[in-house]
Amino acid sequence: MTDTSTSVRARRRTRAFALAAGGALVVEGLGYTLASWTDTEWVFGGDGTGGGGVATSGFEVEQNVTAPFSAAGFTSDETNPGQALRFTVRALALSPGTATYAPVALRTTPDSIAGDLALRAAVPADGVAVTDADGALWGALHVRVATATSTSAACDATAFQDPADVIADGPLATTAPSATQRLAAAGASTQLYCFEVSLPASPTLPPGVQLDALQGRTAAPAWQFAAESD
């Protein structure tokens, strides 16, 4: 005769194994809890059309040294010496009391945000041969810079008639403007700069150097426009 208690225990064990195999959790042989399903959800920053919607803006300034500053003439030169300013022919034949002039126009590129320009003091142009070993000519030269918002503005002595337009006026080696100039986004505005480099009639010279000693010398100044976006 089969032991009833033994039979009941066997049926309970069989049921417990069946439940465990089906994904149930046996708790001390007294009951069970069904295993939980799991799920995850993800989101990303989108632009509303399925593409990425978080990105950085762009800031880029370009220059043009050739009047009348056509759109095709703008380019980017970010290392010293950059493009050559087109000074008037007198640039290679300065005499005491004379000056030479050259313009440059700057704007942001079509895909750029807005920003400001700050003109730095002149430094020697990299890779340009000069004949001024003691720096006497460099120290003697004088620079003025005038600004205009019209690319048709003249770049000659008349550019300096309004003192409000003059942002630099002093020795070439040390003079830098303190004001900045505004550039609109996407090339919507163009900033014109007119450079005047002159040899004063009575320039500052190193001790013992006479004015005649500057004859036949060359110097090559380079200027940086430091641009900063909004």
Residue-wise DSSP of 202-229: S----TT--GGGGTT-B--EE--EEEEE
Q: From 55, 71, 97, give the residue that closes a domain.
A: 55
Q: What is the mean pLDDT of residues 205-225?
A: 94
Tokens of 2: 């089969």
Q: Which residues of 137-157 are buried (b: 16+ CB within 10 A; e: fewer)?
A: bbbbbbbbbbbbeebebebee
Instruction: Quote the percentage of the chain above a pLDDT of 90.
Output: 69
19 and 88, same domain (yes or no) = no
pLDDT of residue 44: 79
Count of Cβ atoms closer than 10 Å to residue 74 Cβ: 19
Q: Is the pLDDT of residue 10 over 80?
A: no
Q: Are residues 131 and 95 in the same domain?
A: yes
Query: Are 135 and 46 part of one and the same domain?
Result: no
Same domain, 11 and 69: no
Contact 4, 12 (CB under 8 A): no
How many domains does the chain contain in total?
A: 2
Helices then strands, counting H and E runs in the chain, come out as: 2, 12
Do 95 and 18 have their domain in common? no
49 and 85, same domain (yes or no): no
Band of residue 25 on the pLDDT scale cut at 50, 70, 90: very low
Q: How many whole angstroms separate alpha carbon 191 and alpha carbon 211?
A: 37
Integer Cα distance of 201 and 117 in angstroms:
32
Same structural domain, 51 and 89: no
> How many other C-beta atoms can be found within 10 angstroms of the C-beta atom of residue 114?
15
Torsion of CA 155, 156, 161, 167, to 10 degrees: 60
Domain end, chosen from 55, 70, 86, is at 55
Which residue bears the tokens 């059309």? 49
Residue 197 CA to residue 203 CA, distance in Å, equals 13
d(CA 85, CA 66): 8
What are the beta bridge partners of residue 193? 104, 147
Close Cβ partners of 156 (under 8 Å, ≥ 6 residues apart): 101, 194
Residue 143 makes CB contacts below 8 A (sequence gap 6+) with: 122, 168, 169, 170, 171, 172, 175, 195, 196, 197, 198, 221
User: Using an 8 Å Cβ cutoff, are 129 and 73 in contact?
Assistant: no
Rounded-to-integer distance, Cα 122 and Cα 120, Å: 6
Region 71-88: mean pLDDT is 92
Identify the weakest region by mean pLDDT among 15-29, 120-134, 160-174: 15-29
Whole domain around residue 2: which residue ranges?
A: 1-55
Which of 13, 39, 55 represents a domain boundary (last residue)? 55
More confident residue, 48 or 122: 122
Phi, then psi, of 73 in degrees rounded to 5: -85, -5
Indicate whether 34 pLDDT > 90. no
Please report the pLDDT score of residue 74 as a whole number.
Answer: 95
